[in-house]
């Protein structure tokens, strides 16, 4: 049986409170899940019925997050790029997180497997 998951990459080079970080991770997860639902319905459904596994990892910069997002897109994976609205802690447009998947783990792991857990 294929394992399905979602990986959220969060920037560690900017200061976010725990609450802000949690919200940015939630945005990335929901947006990427909707992308999967629209474009890779079978992946979404398998991920959904198997518990919606999510892994949150560290990214060192905006450039690094964009690199991972682009690589994931090139491999046909659902991707979300979260930019903050700027209403509280961060300037408007600050990239905070990238969501990849839900997708089969064997398609995500070669891209994000080297990142450290948050």
Report the chain's mean pLDDT, rounded to a whole number.
97
What integer pLDDT is reported at residue 1 of this predicted model? 75
Q: Considering the domain boundaries, does residue 94 fall inside one? A: yes
pTM of the prediction? Answer: 0.96
Q: Considering the domain boundaries, does residue 98 fall inside one? A: yes
What average pLDDT does range 49-69 have in this prediction? 98
What average pLDDT does range 78-88 have in this prediction? 96
The total of structural domains in the chain comes to 1
What average pLDDT does range 74-88 have in this prediction? 96
Q: Considering the domain boundaries, does residue 78 fall inside one? A: yes
| Angular region, 79: left φ>0, alpha ψ -120 to 50, beta rest | beta
Place 54 in a pLDDT band, splitting at 50, 70 and 90. very high
CA-based R_g, the chain, Å:
13
Q: Considering the domain boundaries, does residue 118 fall inside one? A: no
Residue 47's closest CA among 61, 35, 59? 35
Structural domain boundaries, residue 92: 4-112
Rounded to whole angstroms, the Cα distance separating 39 from 77 reads 9
Rounded to whole angstroms, the Cα distance separating 36 from 114 reads 23
Q: Considering the domain boundaries, does residue 16 fall inside one? A: yes
Q: What is the CATH number of the domain that holds 63?
A: 3.40.1490.10
């Amino acid at each position: 049986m294929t394992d399905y998951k979602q990986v959220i990459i969060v920037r560690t080079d900017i200061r976010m409170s725990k609450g802000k970080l949690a919200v940015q991770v939630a945005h990335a997860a929901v947006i990427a899940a909707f992308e999967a639902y629209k474009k890779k319905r079978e992946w979404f459904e398998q991920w959904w019925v198997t518990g919606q596994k999510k892994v949150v990892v560290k990214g060192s910069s905006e450039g690094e997050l964009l690199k991972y997002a682009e690589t994931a897109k090139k491999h046909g994976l659902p991707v979300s790029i979260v930019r903050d609205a700027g209403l509280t802690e961060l300037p408007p447009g600050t990239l905070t997180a990238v969501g990849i998947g839900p997708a089969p783990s064997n398609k995500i792991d070669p891209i994000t497997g080297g990142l450290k857990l948050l």
